């Protein structure tokens, strides 16, 4: 297991950025603000890690990834078997570019998204 891993971090209302984080459960939970959930939206071994209760806790809708809304801060890393690992530099730059900043209409539609997907915030 790597001590630190290179990830792309996406926070609501901010540009995505590449950074290194400690490859520990605590560091990952601190980054996403709670329990982590690993999602595999792509056909490659890149993994999106978000707060598993982001929607329930009414976190802001951050980005739409492969047609699904992701609520709250998330990061993208590589998955090597059952371990998280670093993204290579080229893939990290590509993902940072792809998920750069959430589109403005998404921010204005947060309440609507919560209502459509059964959320409790107004």
Q: Tell me: the pLDDT tens digits for 45-77?
A: 999 999 999 988 888 888 888 888 899 999 999
Q: Tell me: the pLDDT tens digits for 8-23?
A: 999 988 999 999 999 9
Distances (CA, A) of 78 to 30, 58, 118: 19, 27, 31
Q: Is the Cβ–Cβ distance between 62 and 74 less than 8 Å?
A: yes
Q: What is the pTM of this model?
A: 0.83
């Amino acid at each position: 297991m790597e001590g630190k891993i290179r990830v792309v971090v996406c926070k609501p209302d901010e540009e995505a950025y590449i950074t290194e984080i400690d490859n520990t459960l605590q560091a990952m939970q601190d980054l996403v603000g709670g329990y982590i959930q690993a999602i595999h939206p792509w056909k490659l071994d890149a993994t999106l890690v978000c707060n598993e209760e982001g929607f329930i806790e009414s976190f802001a809708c951050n980005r739409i990834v492969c047609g699904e809304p992701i609520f709250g801060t998330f990061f993208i890393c590589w998955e090597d078997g059952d371990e998280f690992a670093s993204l290579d530099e080229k893939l990290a730059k590509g993902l940072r570019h792809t998920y750069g900043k959430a589109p403005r209409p998404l921010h204005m539609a947060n309440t609507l998204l919560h209502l459509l997907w059964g959320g409790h915030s107004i």
